[in-house]
């Protein structure tokens, strides 16, 4: 009878195996070295061994599994997960689960927390933006009051799927997250907001830019939202187009990550964003 065990893997070799056998570029890097670097963020990488043969691998750290993969010619994913759990029975969270593994993990008493996907599109100076009369675009930076930014984000996401799944954050949490994003994008800030001239208030915002450490120099949209009373006026579409056009002098691609089930996904598709593989985060059900 075969025995399964974990064996510590050397990071460089593990990354090569993971990129080849993962069967998905969920971050949509389109680049070998970027995908390798994305996997080498920890030394907690392990082979799943059957006797003395590698059948797969995963990053396993503090009860969390990431980047699981089978090694060809092994194809039975049920056997893979059974082997992993027999070696490590304290796994609580599994991140980056591919669609084909969701049904298998449900049988092991894991629940689906969220399904997400990265979306990318080319930047392009030929894109034109037209705002409705009475609205104007402004650069969003540290000079704008953080409480105002938080209010727009909280109201803009108040009925969104992320709040439904994870619960609504409080003002302090939103300010902290928005401030973190603005600091990340400070290297090349592309953030903007839409202003209602008549009501003298911010109608929507988009926090975007290029991190100094972003692989391939891609631009990224971290947050985009419009207050409920200003929806269906083309404001979000205008902000998307503006970022795509203005990012072109610095980057060839702009990317974002969206929760599957978010109504905004159709907006992104309409504006040229192409989806990558869907991936899920799952958690062990409490007994």
Q: What phi, psi does 147 have (nearest 5°)? A: -65, -35
Inter-CA distances, 258 with 97, 136, 238, Å:
16, 26, 18
Please report the pLDDT score of residue 64 as a whole number.
97
Rounded mean pLDDT, 48-72: 95
Q: Taking the CA atoms of the chain, what radius of gyration do you get in angstroms?
A: 21
pLDDT tops 90 at residue 89: no
Please report the pLDDT score of residue 129 as a whole number.
85
Which residues neighbour 171 within 8 Å (Cβ) at sequence distance 6 or greater?
147, 150, 151, 154
Rounded mean pLDDT, 143-154: 95
> What domains does the chain contain, in order, with CATH numbers?
4-108 (3.40.630), 120-276 (3.40.630.30)
Higher pLDDT, 151 or 130: 151
Tens-digit pLDDT profile for residues 93-108: 999 999 999 999 999 9
Q: What is the mean pLDDT of the chain?
A: 95
Please report the pLDDT score of residue 1 as a whole number.
60
CB 196 within 8 A of CB 137: no
- The pTM of the whole model exceeds 0.85: yes
Tens-digit pLDDT profile for residues 177-197: 999 999 999 999 999 999 999
Please report the pLDDT score of residue 48 as a whole number.
97
Inter-CA distances, 211 with 41, 186, 188, 222, Å:
17, 7, 7, 11
CB 219 within 8 A of CB 254: yes
Please report the pLDDT score of residue 287 as a whole number.
67
């Amino acid at each position: 009878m075969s025995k399964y065990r974990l064996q510590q893997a050397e990071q460089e070799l593990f990354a090569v195996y993971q990129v080849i056998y993962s069967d998905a570029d969920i971050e949509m890097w389109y680049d070998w070295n970027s995908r390798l670097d994305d996997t080498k963020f920890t030394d907690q990488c392990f082979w799943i061994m059957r006797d003395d043969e590698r059948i797969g691998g995963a990053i396993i750290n503090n009860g969390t599994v990431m980047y699981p993969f089978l090694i060809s010619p092994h194809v039975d994913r049920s056997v893979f997960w059974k082997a992993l759990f027999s070696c490590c029975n304290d796994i609580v969270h599994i991140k980056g689960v591919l669609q084909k593994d969701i049904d298998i993990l449900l049988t092991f008493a894991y629940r689906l927390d969220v399904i997400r996907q990265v979306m990318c599109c080319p930047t392009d100076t030929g894109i034109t933006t037209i705002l409705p009369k009475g609205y104007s675009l402004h650069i969003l930076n540290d000079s704008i009051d953080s409480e105002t930014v938080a209010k727009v984000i909280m109201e803009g996401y108040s009925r969104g799927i992320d709040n439904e799944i994870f619960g609504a954050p409080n003002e302090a949490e939103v300010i902290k997250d928005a401030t973190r994003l603005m600091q990340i994008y400070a290297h090349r800030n592309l953030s903007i907001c839409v202003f209602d001239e008549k009501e003298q208030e911010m109608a929507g915002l988009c926090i975007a830019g290029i991190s100094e450490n972003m692989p391939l120099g891609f631009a990224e949209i971290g947050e985009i939202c419009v207050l409920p009373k200003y929806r269906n006026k083309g404001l979000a579409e205008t902000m998307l187009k503006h970022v795509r056009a203005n990012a072109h002098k610095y980057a060839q691609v702009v990317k974002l990550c969206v929760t599957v089930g978010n109504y905004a996904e159709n907006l992104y598709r309409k504006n040229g964003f192409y989806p990558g593989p869907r991936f899920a985060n799952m958690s062990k059900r409490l007994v």
